């Protein structure tokens, strides 16, 4: 029989229950026991949900109060001394590492948090010391949760992050020189101990995740697999059978690792992302090994195409036989929302195309049944699925012939500005007459409580569109007045009308839909609700012109129009899975191109197109795939911005400081002015602009906007002085690191006053 497996389930609960419980606990509103009880309730509910859906292999230890990597840090006692010294209760020590702790005389910052592969989930980075040791916690979490499920009558497969990935995803602590992977020998006995305890508790199999296998691995990391899995598999009968799971990519380039893994019980691969790896993996696995085929997408919200999934599974079965094949989700379902049932407002047409975590569990069970007992046994479900696929493929919402027609007419020239930068600069100088060291901000000004109240009222229908519009105009008037008082050079309208930099545009474009409950965990208790791209994208009418034009009409200085770029719109949404992302990016680019041209026609001669997500879209492995991505990503930015005259100045903004390895892509954007987050990093990083003889203008942020702290005028001057070691005076713009929406007015005014004064000082000097 072909079994069905889920690699992990979202933790938040149907109504973001875990978020609410965590935050209530942090605020001192519920007790520790209340929080732990809520965690237990959620785990149980999620196991039951999967069981009722017919899933054979249900995961445990996929739950985490904050982050699963952090769970491992604590379980293996890889806890930096500054946390263990606090002598906090385990759960508080855990949260202290995740989010910092500033209470009752304890003051520790959080550990570093970074993106989990190419997803929008963030994990806590293990941080190792020279001389690091490990020790298994008493009552380790995977054992406790396995027993908890067992007591409820559900036998689960515990999920553990593998030792190689745990180390390779970590780093040496500040001032420490240890290479994490060199700690393997010390770590392995702890894993063995954990696995033995799991076996004693009754676990027959475990899922050990080694997702780093999809990366280009340094030799030391590659070589770690053999010693690791000699200890964790095969002849050792005192531990459970191990399924080694990989996801988010293919493992073909790391095949030389696999022969060393022949003693493993089985391997899981992601066949949604890389279906083509199936045949090569089958050629490499051992003669007894199980192959878990990830055929239900753990990263997106689309219904699984049963026909395709069944075909893939059948291919595996033909070669390996039914007993050696498992059908599974491609990865953990952590990256999908809880259930489609919560969406009461979705158009039924599109709701029929979606499948969230709860629905995906049912899908995987149906696929397993189809390949075990024959498709006839689930005929109704397969037919209904085919109907949905058909409906989606032929829907007017999916296909817009006008959009396709327009895409077919995109030419190379459309990607290029009329003239090279020097000519544009001359035209812009004349047109905008800006001083040297021009000052500006990145777009948003503080989003006050009042703004949120009015927006809510408007969304609920408590105030009319006219009333809301009047309110927004008043806000714009206020920020213009403040910018005049501050004596900034290029103004912005402050973005008071925008809830979110992607959602705002999605709501104004054809081809997008929005959900009410489709939250996914981003980090800790923070969840995001990405809009969904369902069809060809087009712009029915101007999206931002009204506000920008109004702002320009009441201000004396140049007004900067503010847009979110095509890649950021794409990356921070659930994309379509039926057309390549480059196609979607180009459609977004064409819609934005029209907006840019309309802004120019409305008298907006400085236009900023933000692309903070450009870098995170980089494919996980270097090489052709990455180059291809950069090429279409850069093209989409250029297509969106190149429709204007020489005299119109295009800005772009990136909240990144690590732009060195990525420099050629940023340079290729050909933006007249680039603002980048830089205040927290070494000004030396700017050297790359000199080395590459970057000719255009740059605004490296002169102060950090993430903190309420007001930088002094002297500090900003010092920062500018440092920048001038690398950048030419007539090349440098003076601006903060990013938008100011999360700040209060008080510190914003104070910081910008100091910033403008610092700029004026240098203006005098040069």
Question: Contact residues for ligand GLN (CB under 6 A)?
Answer: 442-444, 495, 501, 562, 610, 612, 653, 655, 738-739, 741
Token representation of residue 421: 């930068």
Q: Which is nearer to ligand GLN, 220 or 526 (CB)?
A: 526
Q: How many CA atoms lie within 13 A of 714 on its CB side?
A: 0
Asked if residue 349 belongs to a known ligand binding site, the reply is no
Distant-in-sequence, close-in-space partners of 537: CB < 8 Å, separation ≥ 6:
403, 509, 510, 511, 512, 584, 587, 588, 591
Stretch of 407-415, 533-541, 654-662, 750-758 contacting Zn ion, by CB under 5 A: 654-662
The tokens for 380 are: 């109704």
CA distance 710 to 755: 10
Annotated binding residue 699: no
* CB-count burial class (<10 Å; 0-12, 13-18, 19+) for 43: buried
The two structure tokens encoding residue 292 = 């878990």
Nearer to ligand GLN, 653 or 696 (CB): 653
DSSP string, 366-404: HHHHHHHH-GGGGHHHHHHHHHHHHHHHH-TTT--HHHH
- Closest approach of Cβ 492 to ligand GLN, in Å? 8
Q: How far is the CB of 705 from Zn ion (least distance, A)?
A: 8
493 labelled as ligand-binding? no
* 317 is annotated as contributing to ligand binding: no
Q: Residue 10 or 446: which CB sits closer to ligand GLN?
A: 446
DSSP 435: P
665, interface contact from ligand GLN, Zn ion, none, CB < 5-8 Å by kind = none
442 labeled part of a ligand binding site: yes
Q: Is 580 annotated as a binding residue?
A: no
CB of 330 to Zn ion, least distance (A): 31
Catalytic hit among 46, 68, 580, 706: 706
Q: Name every residue whose Cβ is closer than 8 Å to that of residue 9 and which is 6 or more positions away in sequence.
A: 46, 49, 50, 59, 62, 63, 332, 333, 334, 357, 361
Q: Which long-range contacts (CB under 8 A, 24 or more apart) does 186-189 make?
A: 186/132, 186/133, 186/134, 187/76, 187/134, 187/163, 188/163, 188/227, 188/228, 188/231, 188/232
Least distance to ligand GLN, CB of residue 432, Å = 20
Neighbouring CB atoms inside 10 A of 656's CB total: 17
Other C-beta atoms within 10 Å of 72: how many? 27
Report the chain's terminal Cα–Cα distance, integer Å: 79
Partner touching 531 among ligand GLN, Zn ion, none, CB below 5 to 8 Å by kind: none
Is 41 labelled as part of a ligand binding site? Answer: no
- The residue with tokens 């009441």 is 554
The residue sitting closest to ligand GLN, measured at its beta carbon, is 739
Choose from Zn ion, ligand GLN, none: what does 741 bind? Cβ within 5-8 Å by kind.
Answer: ligand GLN
C-beta of residue 568 within 8 angstroms of C-beta of residue 384: no
655 lies in the site for Zn ion, by CB under 5 A: yes
In the complex, least distance from residue 607 CB atom to Zn ion, rounded to whole angstroms: 16
Is 368 a binding residue for Zn ion by CB under 5 A? The answer is no
Residue 444 site contact among Zn ion, ligand GLN, none (CB < 5 to 8 Å, cut-off depends on kind): ligand GLN
Q: Minimum CB separation from ligand GLN for residue 495, in Å?
A: 6
Gap between the Cα atoms of 628 and 523, Å rounded:
30
How crowded is residue 523: how many other Cβ atoms within 10 Å of its Cβ?
20
State in angstroms the smallest separation of the CB of 737 from Zn ion: 7
At its nearest, how many Å lie between Zn ion and the CB of residue 501?
Answer: 9
Nearer to ligand GLN, 21 or 562 (CB): 562
CB 521 within 8 A of CB 332: no
Q: How far is CA 187 from CA 136, 164, 227, in A?
A: 10, 10, 12
Give dist(CA 242, CA 251) in Å, integer: 18
Annotate 402-435 with b (16+ C-beta within 10 A) or e (fewer): ebeebeeeeeeeebebeeebeebbebbeebbebe
The mark string for 692-731 relative to Zn ion (x by CB under 5 A, - otherwise) is: ----------------------------------------
Is 443 marked as binding a ligand?
A: yes
Residue among 162 and 612 whose Cβ is closer to ligand GLN = 612
Per the CB < 8 A criterion, the answer to whether 187 and 233 are in contact is no
Question: Among residues 120 and 444, whose Cβ is nearest to ligand GLN?
Answer: 444
Cα(200)–Cα(342) distance, integer angstroms:
40
Q: Residue count at the site for Zn ion (CB under 5 A)?
A: 2
Q: Which two tokens stand for residue 280?
A: 């090569």
664 labeled part of a ligand binding site: yes
Q: How far is the CB of 656 from Zn ion (least distance, A)?
A: 9
- Work out what residue 447 binds among Zn ion, ligand GLN, none; the CB cut-off runs from 5 to 8 Å by kind: none
Taking a C-beta distance cutoff of 8 angstroms, is the pair 587, 403 a contact? yes
Min CB(741)–Zn ion separation in Å: 10
Q: Is 293 annotated as a binding residue?
A: no
Measured from the Cβ of residue 466, the count of other Cβ atoms closer than 10 Å reads 8
CB-wise, 194 or 509, nearer to ligand GLN?
A: 509
585 vs 738 by CB, closer to Zn ion: 738
Question: Is 572 annotated as ligand-binding?
Answer: yes
69 interacts with, out of Zn ion, ligand GLN, none, CB within 5 to 8 A per kind: none
- The nearer residue to ligand GLN, 381 or 441, going by C-beta atoms, is 441
| Gyration radius of the chain over CA positions | 27
Give catalytic status of residue 706 as yes or no.
Answer: yes
DSSP 266-285: EEEEETTT-TTHHHHHHHHS
Window 728-757: residues binding Zn ion (CB under 5 A)? 738
Would you say 557 or 653 has its CB closer to ligand GLN?
653
**Among the residue ranges 50-58, 352-360, 427-435, 655-663, the one whose residues contact Zn ion (CB under 5 A):** 655-663
446, 745 Cβ separation under 8 angstroms: yes
Q: Give the residue among 604, 624, 607, 618 at the shortest CA–CA distance from 567.
A: 618
Question: What residues are designated binding site for 5-methyltetrahydropteroyltri-L-glutamate?
Answer: 19, 120, 526-527, 572
Known binding-site positions for L-homocysteine: 442-444, 610
Question: Where is the binding site for L-methionine, in residues?
Answer: 442-444, 495, 610
Residues that bind Zn ion in the complex, under the rule CB under 5 A = 655, 738
Residues annotated within the binding site are: 19, 120, 442-444, 495, 526-527, 572, 610, 653, 655, 664, 677, 738
Residues with a known catalytic role: 706
């Amino acid at each position: 029989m072909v079994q069905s497996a889920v690699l992990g389930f979202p933790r938040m609960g149907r109504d973001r229950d875990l978020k609410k419980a965590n935050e209530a606990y942090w605020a001192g509103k519920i007790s520790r026991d209340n929080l732990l009880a809520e965690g237990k309730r959620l785990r149980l509910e999620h196991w039951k949900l999967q069981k009722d859906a017919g899933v054979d292999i249900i995961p445990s230890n996929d739950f985490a109060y904050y982050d699963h990597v952090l769970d491992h840090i604590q379980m293996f006692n890889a806890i930096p001394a500054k946390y263990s010294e606090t002598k906090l209760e385990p759960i508080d020590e855990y949260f202290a590492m995740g989010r910092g702790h500033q209470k009752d005389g304890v003051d520790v910052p959080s550990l570093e948090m970074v993106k989990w592969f190419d997803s929008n989930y963030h994990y806590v980075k293990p941080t190792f010391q020279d001389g690091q040791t490990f020790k298994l916690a008493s009552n380790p979490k995977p054992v406790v949760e396995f027993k908890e499920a067992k007591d409820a009558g559900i036998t689960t497969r515990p999920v553990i992050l593998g030792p190689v990935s745990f180390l390779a995803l970590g780093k040496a602590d500040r001032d420490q020189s240890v290479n994490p992977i060199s700690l393997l020998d010390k770590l392995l006995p702890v894993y063995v101990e954990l696995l033995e305890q799991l076996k004693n508790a009754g676990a027959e199999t475990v899922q050990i995740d080694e997702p780093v296998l999809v990366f280009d691995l340094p030799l030391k990391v590659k070589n770690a697999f053999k010693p690791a899995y000699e200890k964790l598999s095969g002849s050792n009968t005192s531990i459970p059978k191990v399924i080694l799971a990989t996801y988010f990519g293919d493992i073909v380039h790391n095949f030389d690792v696999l022969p060393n893994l022949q003693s493993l019980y089985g391997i899981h691969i992601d066949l949604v992302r890389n279906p083509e790896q199936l045949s090569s993996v089958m050629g490499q696995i051992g003669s007894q090994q199980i192959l878990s085929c990830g055929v239900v997408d753990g990263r997106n919200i689309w219904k699984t195409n049963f026909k395709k999934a069944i075909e893939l599974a059948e291919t595996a079965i033909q070669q390996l036989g039914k007993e050696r094949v498992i059908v599974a989700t491609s990865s953990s379902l952590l990256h999908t929302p809880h259930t489609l049932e919560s969406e009461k407002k979705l158009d039924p047409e599109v709701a029929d195309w979606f499948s969230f975590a709860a629905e995906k569990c049912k899908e995987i069970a149906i696929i397993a049944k189809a390949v075990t007992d024959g498709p006839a046994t689930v005929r109704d479900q397969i037919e209904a699925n085919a109907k949905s696929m058909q409906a989606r493929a032929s829907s007017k919402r999916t296909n817009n012939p006008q959009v396709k027609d327009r895409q077919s007419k995109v030419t190379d020239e459309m990607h290029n500005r009329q003239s090279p930068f020097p000519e544009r600069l001359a035209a812009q100088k004349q047109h905008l007459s800006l001083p040297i060291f021009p000052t500006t901000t990145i777009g948003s000004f503080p989003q006050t409580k009042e703004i949120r109240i009015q927006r809510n009222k408007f969304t609920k229908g408590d105030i009319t569109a006219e009333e809301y519009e009047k309110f927004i105009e008043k806000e714009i008037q206020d920020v213009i007045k403040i910018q005049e008082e501050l004596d900034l050079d290029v103004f912005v309208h402050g973005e008071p009308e925008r809830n979110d930099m992607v959602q705002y545009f999605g709501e104004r474009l054809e081809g997008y839909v929005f959900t009410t409950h489709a939250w996914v965990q981003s980090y800790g208790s923070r969840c995001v609700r990405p809009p969904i791209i369902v069809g060809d994208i087009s712009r029915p009418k101007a999206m931002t012109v009204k506000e920008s034009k109004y702002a320009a009409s009441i201000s004396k200085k140049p007004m900067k129009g503010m847009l979110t770029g095509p890649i950021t719109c794409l990356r921070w949404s659930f994309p379509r899975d039926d057309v390549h992302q480059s196609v979607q990016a180009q459609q977004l680019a064409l819609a934005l191109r029209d907006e840019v041209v309309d802004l120019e026609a409305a008298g907006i001669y400085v236009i900023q197109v933000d692309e903070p997500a450009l870098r995170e879209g980089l494919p996980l492995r270097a090489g052709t795939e990455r180059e291809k991505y950069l090429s279409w990503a850069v093209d989409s930015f250029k297509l969106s911005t190149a429709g204007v005259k020489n005299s119109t100045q295009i800005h772009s903004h990136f909240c990144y400081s690590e732009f060195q390895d990525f420099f050629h892509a940023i340079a290729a954007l050909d933006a007249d002015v680039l603002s980048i987050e830089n205040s927290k990093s070494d000004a030396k990083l700017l050297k790359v602009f000199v080395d590459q003889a970057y000719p255009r203008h740059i605004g490296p942020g002169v102060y950090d906007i993430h903190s309420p702290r007001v930088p002094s005028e002297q500090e900003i001057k010092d920062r500018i002085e440092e920048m001038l070691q690398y950048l030419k005076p007539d090349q440098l713009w003076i601006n903060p690191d990013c938008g100011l929406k999360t700040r209060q007015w008080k510190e914003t005014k104070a910081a910008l006053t100091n910033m403008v004064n610092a700029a004026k000082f240098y203006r005098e000097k040069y």
